Structure 1
Amino acid sequence: MVFSRGDVSGHEDQAIDHHDPRAKITIVSWDGPDDPGNPYNWSLRQKWTLTVLSVFATFITMTNGTIITVAHEAINEHFGISDASFPHSYWPVTSWAIGGAFSSMLVMPLMEDFGVRWVFLLTYAIFLCFVVPQAVAQSFAALVVTRFFAGGCVAILANTAATVIGNVWDSERSRNMPVSIYILTYLAGSSVGPVIGSPIFQFLSWRWIGYIQLMWHGVCFPVFFFFFKECRGIAILAQRARVLRRNGKKAYSQHEIDSQETSMLRIVARSATRPVVLFFTESVVFVSTLWSAFTVGTLYLFTQSVEQVFAGLYGWTPSQAGYVQAAIVIGECIGWVGTLFSGKLYFNSASRNTEVPGTPIPEARLYLAILGGMFGISGGMFTYAWTSYPDLPWIAPAVGLAMAGAGSVIVVTGISDYVVDAYSKYAGSAIGLIAAGENVFSGFLPLAAMSMYSQLGFQWASTLLAFISLTLSFAPILVLVWGREIRARSPFMKEAIIERRKSIDSV
């Protein structure tokens, strides 16, 4: 998930110094602070329309990652693939996730320089092209390869909502609800994939999973085309400048001038290398990446372990195991309610902040996340583990799934919000890194599920995962205790503190 706050603050039009070689160029900017074209000044109806469209796109595209997992046996049989010694049937999901890891780091910066609308629409059209081979693939290799590119497209489409939210909502308080809804749709989209795929596979065939996806994505494209407005400030100003140039005026936005002095290759290179620097030099980013990546990877692991556990205990079919994963989605919805309470704790912390008085303490974002990790994910995995007995009803391990689902939303929301608040200017790079980590864990962690649950047993395999999650949940407690000292040593966090102080002084 990549959060990016749009640069939509403008100034009055100004001309370049006549001694400059670019003399007589008009700089196009906002027509004052109340310019209705500035996305921050849009009506609530306009803001929520674009927000709902973007989070809906997140939800429907994320289902593409896991929707085919319920049909793995039929796909194996059709292409002559065996899972006897290794879960080869999961490679289409692994390639999908790895494609997402690459594109989120390399392509997302294009939205920063060219705007959101056309990057989104072009990516969506390409995604549609790669949904077709998922239905008609004539070889397993073709399915794996096309899924790689589809996953790359989905990473861009799913993260568009984060960019939109940063561009149209101008304060932490106003962004709190949209961000929590976005993360819910991001995680629930992956978890609901098997639930949607189960009836399609049960009553039709595995190829119809691709056909029906093509139908609903195709129907949605005209909706996005006509209602998905541009919301990136620099793109709107560049569009105004182009209109003036067509009328014979030498007008440019400041971003257009700056872009002429910096090559796109350099921009992309800078965007791609900064996350690596953050990962190896910032302990907070390192821990946050591992914690969030393991959390999301666990949700994908359920697509493998749930079928193995419920088939082994109750003799369920893959479709029945797909249906029970609705418990995860229900838990995620419950967890979303918890994130609203987390936001209240965060904003109330402003009264206790002595570092930057009047602003919330960044670490307050982690209060509920730590509890969500301990009692939600870890507690849910322990419940899932020690209720996995054939003499106990199926609802018992399903409760464990719901607990893990609730914890996942609380944890990922807390991590994302904290990193955005603590790193501010570099939030896009930090969150881009976390998104890449989530994709890598989602792609490879489930590959170990079959051997783990076969060799360790249902109880101890889930217990191992619970202990790992519990350990990761304890690490952020150190951030709560020494958060101020950690920020004082971090050059990236220092910039965020300076920006906060400036914003307070300017009010």
Structure 2
Amino acid sequence: MPSSPSPPPPHDAAPPLQRVGTHSSTMTMAAGHGYIDPEAQSGRRSLDRRQSLSSVATEKDYVGDFLQEWERPQRLRELRKVYSHQTEKLGELDAPGDASEFIDIDKELVTWDGPEDPENPRNFPTAKKWRITLVIGMYTFVSPFASSVAAPAAQEYAAEFGITSPTIASMTVSIFLIGFALGPLFMAPLSELFGRVIVIRVTTVLFLIFSIACALANSTAQMMVFRLLSGLAGSAPLALGGGILSDIWAPVDLVRAMAIFSIGPLLGPICAPVMAGFVVENIDWRWVFWILVILGGVSMVIGMIVFKEETYAVVILNRKAARLRKETGNENLHTIFEVTEDVRTGFLIAITRPVKMLVMNPVLLMLSLFLAFVYGFLYLLFVTFPILFQGKYGQSIGIAGLNYLGPGVGFMVGLIVFTPLLQKIYLRLTAANNGVAKPEYRLPTLLMGGVLVTTGLFWYGWSAEKQLHWIMPLIGTAFFGAGMIPVFAAIQTYLIDMSPRYAASAVSASTLFRSLVAFAFPLFGKQMYDKLGYGWGNSLMGFIALPLGILFPLFLYRHGEPLRIRAEKRMEEWDTKMRARALEGETSSSLP
């Protein structure tokens, strides 16, 4: 029986210069002829990413001799200790991609089968990528459609349920957005641990069930609870859509896909009241929800057929490693992600990441603040349009619902104009920077969106205040809608470029913030317009939009890069400390 290996030396007590015993000459060459650089370890010399990865590989091989006979959990704990220590010293979160740099020196590392591996989502056929993109666009249309579909029906079921408070009636509509806000806190982490497909499939089924429950509701409490649960389930496409698209599309090809992803949350809430107004007027308010059920059921079936293959590279590689361990009997096969993170620690980090991103990243906070403001005002329109056009302009419920087409027309114009413009500006700035792309190159069109949004707010407010022809307020909302397209597209693509691996968490952080604001805005809209009128009420909104939509993006374009880099480093350091603490706990619990 072989003797037990000696425990490894503490990772913070490594010798200053150590000749490393190796199993292959390749490893020795990759590690600078087998020496560990003490300056690199102490952080006094900056290394590029490939040099630092070689250092990790060398140190890993240093402990490799006495890890060969250990059980898999203990082996991963020791490897994790080395990676965690190296990450702490060099400020790296994890090895990039599949860590194929290690393949010659770590024979048990599972990676892609070359750059053309068909399992890699980036290598999916283009037609397949577009099918997935269209399914995600369909999902992100249906769930926001549900968010506003109750607006024209609110007065009808409020009378049936005995609701007398306008605030409570508005809350039955906007409480859906609380689900939108809370859902991403769980959806994104779950998808980064267990995969995108399973989360999307389960939540679409739940969304359908809760939509049926809304159609059958018989009290205020039932309506509010089921609307909240519908929002929770319906938040999954918004939380995961950006991450799914970044899984399959390279950054240079992402803009058109993100345009489809961004139009759903804008067009869905516009189309719903147009349809619902006529349904409520001519049939019954419950049929508003039955139509939603039909739409949700059709989209669920299409999604189940088309979107079947996992897209998150981490999950795909981990499943591949598990399959190979079962087929070969070699329990030491692993991916870089299994080495650097255990499931419990990974879930804890992932579930807190969206909120930490908002708190620790001022760039994400500033952009999310403007996105939240714009999105919140859109929902303010949904609950105040009936008051304006039915009350002041004397229109019927069905005709008043057609006014939602005002921002809808703006959305379509913005989509046609700004989608190619965003891509053109991004590529031009990248070429001018010697082909090196930066997330900040997404921001120039955001400035244009800020100008249009601000213009639309003033135009809509004062034309409604003076009760000009009904087309005048709608022109203002069209300006506002056109401006929302570059706002959504620029910010969403920026967040993905800023944090590719954790794109779902970055988008979820933004979704959390904007959904909370969209929930709050309708609650004070009627009171604001009663006190200030449409002119000064919307002027107040316009004065808020000026710094958020013009000054902030201009500042970020010129000075945002160092802020972004420092914020990313803070996030990496925070995650590294959490992994180190978890590792210390595992090590101490394994001691006799």
TM-score (norm 2): 0.74
- CA distance change for structure 1 residues 234 and 274 in 2, over 3 Å: closer, same or farther? closer
Residues 1:303 and 2:382 aligned together: yes
Q: Please, which of 64, 68, 77 is the counterpart of residue 150 of structure 2?
A: 68
Distance 1:258 1:339 in 2: 40
Q: How big is the shift at 1:370? A: 1.3
Letter in structure 1 aligned against 2:184: S
Alignment-derived partner of residue 177 in structure 2: 97
Matched, 1:358 2:435: yes
Among 475, 479, 494, the alignment partner of 1:403 is 479
User: How far apart, in 2, do the equivalents of 1:412 and 1:81 lie?
Assistant: 35
Query: Please, which moves more after superposition, 67-76 or 336-345?
Result: 336-345
The verdict on how the C-alpha distance between 1:391 and 1:143 changes in structure 2, with shifts beyond 3 A counting, is closer
Kept in 1, the 8 Å contact 2:242–2:492? The answer is: no
Pair 1:293-2:372 in alignment? yes
Report if the CA contact (8 A) 2:460-2:473 is conserved: yes
Most deviating of 480-489 and 179-188: 480-489
Deviation of the 1:440 alpha carbon: 0.1
Cα deviation 1:242-295 (Å, max 9, x = unaligned): 555665744665278449x6233x333322333333333332122112111101
Counterpart residue number, 2:68: 18
- Paired with 1:248 and 1:486, the residues of 2 have a C-alpha distance of 47
Matches within 5 A, 1:87-486: 87-169=167-249, 171-230=250-309, 231-241=311-321, 249-250=329-330, 254=335, 257-258=338-339, 262-264=342-344, 266-337=345-416, 338-353=418-433, 357-374=434-451, 376-388=452-464, 392-425=468-501, 427-473=503-549, 474-486=551-563
Instruction: For 1:174 and 1:202, locate their aligned partners in 2 and report how far apart those are by CA, in whole Å.
Output: 45
Contact kept in structure 2, 1:35 and 1:41, CA below 8 Å: yes
Amino acid at match of 1:179: M
Point out where structure 1 has 5 or more consecutive residues left out of the alignment: 1-15, 496-507
Secondary structure of 1:108's counterpart equals helix
Name the Cα RMSD after superposition: 2.7
Q: Indicate how the Cα distance of structure 1 residues 467 and 164 shifts in structure 2: closer, same or farther if over 3 A, else same.
A: same
Gaps of 5+ in 2: 1-63, 76-105, 573-592
Instruction: Give me the whole-angstrom Cα distance separating, in 2, the residues matched to 1:25 and 1:138.
Output: 63
Q: Decide which moves more: 98-107 or 62-71.
A: 98-107
In structure 2, how many angstroms separate the alpha carbons of the residues matched to 1:145 and 1:386?
A: 38
Evaluate the alpha carbon distance shift between residue 486 and residue 119 of structure 1 in structure 2; reply closer, same or farther with a 3 A threshold. Answer: closer
Matching residue of 1:43:
125
SS in 1 for 2:119: coil
Cα distance in 1 for residues equivalent to 2:318 and 2:184: 25
| Contact 1:422–1:493 (CA under 8 A) maintained in structure 2 | no
- Do the aligned residues in 1 keep the contact of 2:141 with 2:264 (CA within 8 Å)? yes
- One-letter code aligned to 2:440: E
Letter in 1 for 2:268: G
Distance 1:163 1:427 in 2: 5
Counterpart residue type for residue 458 of structure 2:
F
Per the TM alignment, residue 493 of structure 1 is displaced from its structure 2 partner at its CA by: 9.0
Give me the TM-score of the superposition, normalised by structure 1: 0.86
Q: Is the 8 A contact 2:178 2:228 kept in 1?
A: yes
Please give the alpha-carbon distance, in whole angstroms, between the structure 1 residues aligned to 2:182 and 2:318: 28
2:115 alignment partner in structure 1: 33
Cα displacement (A) at 1:103: 1.2
Post-superposition shift, 1:417? Answer: 2.1
Q: Name the CA distance, whole Å, in 2 between partners of 1:456 and 1:107.
A: 40
Cα deviation for residue 313 of structure 1 reads 2.5
Q: Distance in 1 between matches of 2:108 and 2:562?
A: 46
Deviation of 1:489 after TM superposition, in Å, equals 4.6
Residues 349 and 67 (structure 1), Cα distance of their counterparts in 2 relative to 1, 3 Å cut: same
Letter in structure 2 aligned against 1:254? T
Rounded to whole Å, the distance in 1 between the matches of 2:422 and 2:571 is: 25
Maintained 8 Å contact 2:357/2:571: no
Residues of 1 paired with 2:251 and 2:126: CA distance? 16
Partner AA of 1:470 in structure 2: L
Q: Name the CA shift for 1:94/1:32 in 2 (closer, same or farther; >3 Å).
A: same
Secondary structure of 2:153's aligned partner: helix
CA, structure 1 residues 237+421, in 2 after alignment: closer, same or farther (shift >3 Å)? Answer: closer
Q: Distance in 2 between matches of 1:246 and 1:427?
A: 31
CA–CA distance in structure 1, aligned partners of residues 207 and 107 of structure 2: 40
- Quickly say closer, same or farther: Cα 1:454–1:388, change in 2 above 3 A: same
3-state SS, counterpart of residue 421 of structure 1:
helix
Change (3 A) 1:160 1:200: farther
Partner AA of 1:21 in structure 2:
E
- Partners of 1:294 and 1:149 lie apart in 2 by 24
- CA 493–331 in structure 1, closer or farther in 2 if over 3 Å, else same: farther
Q: Do the aligned partners of residues 167 and 253 (structure 1) sit closer, same or farther apart at CA in structure 2, a change above 3 Å counting?
A: farther
C-alpha separation between the residues in 1 aligned to 2:153 and 2:187? 31
Q: CA deviation at 1:25?
A: 10
- Aligned residue identity for 2:534: F
Structure 1 residues 493 and 184 mapped into 2: Cα distance closer, same or farther (>3 Å)? farther
Residue identity opposite 2:215 in structure 1:
A
- Structure 1 residues 456 and 425: CA distance shift in structure 2, 3 A: same
- Given that residues 262 and 489 in structure 2 are in contact (C-alpha distance below 8 angstroms), is that contact kept between their aligned partners in structure 1? yes
Matched residue, 2:20: none
Distance 2:515 2:114 in 1: 42
SS in 1 for 2:150: helix
Single out whichever of 110-119 and 20-29 deviates more from structure 2: 20-29
Q: Which has the larger radius of gyration?
A: 2
Contact persistence 2:374–2:484 (CA under 8 A): yes
Q: Deviations over 1:19-61 (max 9, x none)?
A: 4433899654422221222221111111111111111111122
Measured in 1, the distance between the counterparts of 2:391 and 2:474 equals: 15
User: CA shift at 1:222, angstroms?
Assistant: 2.5
**Alignment length, in residue pairs?**
472
The alignment status of 1:78 with 2:160, answered yes or no, reads yes
8 Å Cα contact 2:461/2:535 also seen in 1:
yes
Measure how far apart 1:318 and its partner are: 3.4
CA distance, structure 2, for counterparts of residue 351 and residue 286 of structure 1: 29
Report deviation, 1:72.
Answer: 1.2
